[in-house]
């Protein structure tokens, strides 16, 4: 039974990753920020000692992962998913940029010091490391797995959105530079998802407010029929595909040194509203309709993207936007019906 060390194990994406690895016979050590988060995840998984957790309250603190990694010998793979993702920050440099940079630096240094037996490190990066928030909105541009967001530090700390895009760029670049400069024994693969939607790994995680991306869907079903909604748009991917990509990165040596750009196309909130009105009788007439069928026009303002290389490497069909929205809202309604 191979041991996997997963940072930020209680996050939305990470919970799916932990569950998938457990289901596939791995033993998982996860870092969480509090005992409460660790115990909740342990209870949800219900697999005894096959899941253990360590407290890392602040990933940006000096040597944050040293003690946790030093305690666990025999770890073969490390997945670094821990990184803040929220936009309601009044100090984006402190809340987003510094933790992403220092967290990545700390975990890579801890591996080098204490766990030379680790063979692969999978970095949960983002499409934010592929393009800037401005370039993403430019239909004259095109991007793929080889593209990089070259935002400067000064640009990144101006506002929370720029800070998130900068944070993910700086952290991923740091990881590849570490590989080049330090020449550690481990190999690196990065997973670069766009907006990650989909059901929670456990029903107990369906809270009053969901994670940042899923709250886009959640907010739509809270609206009245005469309410308006913002036209948000961007790339979409299902959390279950993102988790599968992390498992593939561990199990498939053909992915070593690759960046896996996880997207299955573009969405707009109008597309989501259309899917909701089409598939949920109990919502029809109670939520807005907007301008049905105009979602394809909304996304024409976005940059062109290609992840053909990623899809070929992974070899499975990604989950559609229709299924993402339906599965997410079905889970929400199921939990709400029990209250």
The pLDDT assigned to 86 comes to 66
- The answer to pTM > 0.95 is yes
The pLDDT assigned to 16 comes to 98
pLDDT in tens, the chain (339 residues): 899 999 999 999 999 999 999 999 999 999 999 999 999 999 999 999 999 999 999 999 999 999 999 999 999 999 999 887 666 778 989 899 999 999 999 999 999 999 999 999 999 999 999 999 999 999 999 999 999 999 999 999 999 999 999 999 999 999 999 999 999 999 999 999 999 999 999 999 999 999 989 999 999 999 999 999 999 999 999 999 999 999 999 999 999 999 999 999 999 999 999 999 999 999 999 999 999 999 999 999 999 999 999 999 999 999 999 999 999 999 999 999 987
Contact indicator for 7, 77 with CB cutoff of 8 Å: no
Place of tokens 């936007």: 321
Query: Which tokens go with 93?
Result: 């440099």
CATH 3.40.50.720 residue ranges of the chain are 3-197+237-263
CATH of domain 3-197+237-263: 3.40.50.720
Query: Which tokens go with 295?
Result: 């979602």
pLDDT in tens, 184-241: 999 999 999 999 999 999 999 999 999 989 999 999 999 999 999 999 999 999 999 9
Q: What angle do CA 135, 136, 139 make, to 5 degrees?
A: 85
Contact indicator for 69, 75 with CB cutoff of 8 Å: yes
């Amino acid at each position: 039974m191979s041991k996997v060390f997963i940072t930020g194990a209680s996050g939305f994406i990470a919970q799916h990753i932990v569950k998938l690895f457990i289901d596939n016979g791995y033993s998982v050590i996860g870092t969480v920020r509090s005992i409460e988060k660790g115990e909740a995840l342990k209870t949800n998984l219900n697999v005894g000692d096959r899941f253990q957790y360590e407290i890392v309250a602040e990933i940006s603190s000096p040597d944050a992962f040293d003690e946790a990694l030093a305690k666990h010998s025999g770890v073969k793979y490390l997945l670094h998913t821990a990184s803040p993702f929220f936009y309601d920050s009044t100090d984006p440099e402190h809340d987003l940029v510094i933790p992403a940079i220092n967290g990545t630096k700390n975990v890579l240094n801890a591996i080098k010091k204490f766990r030379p037996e680790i063979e692969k490190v999978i970095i949960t990066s983002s499409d934010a490391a592929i393009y800037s928030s401005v370039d993403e909105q430019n239909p004259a541009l095109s991007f793929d797995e080889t593209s990089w967001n070259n935002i400067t530090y000064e640009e990144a700390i101006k506002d929370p959105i720029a800070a998130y895009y900068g944070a993910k760029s700086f952290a991923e670049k740091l990881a590849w530079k570490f590989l080049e400069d330090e020449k550690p024994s481990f190999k690196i693969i990065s997973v670069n998802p766009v907006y990650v939607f989909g059901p929670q790994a456990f029903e107990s995680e369906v809270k009053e407010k969901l994670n940042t991306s899923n709250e886009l869907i959640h907010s739509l079903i809270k609206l009245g029929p005469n309410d308006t909604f913002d036209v948000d748009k961007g790339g979409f991917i299902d959390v279950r595909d993102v988790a599968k990509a992390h498992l593939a990165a561990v199990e498939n040596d053909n992915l070593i040194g690759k960046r896996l750009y996880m997207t299955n196309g573009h969405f707009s909130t109008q597309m989501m509203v259309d899917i909701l009105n089409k598939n949920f009788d109990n919502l029809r007439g109670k939520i807005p309709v907007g301008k049905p069928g105009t979602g394809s026009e909304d996304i024409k303002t976005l940059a062109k993207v290609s992840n053909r290389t990623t899809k070929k490497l992974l070899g499975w069909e990604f989950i559609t936007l229709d299924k993402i929205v339906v599965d997410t809202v079905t889970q929400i309604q199921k939990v709400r019906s029990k209250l």
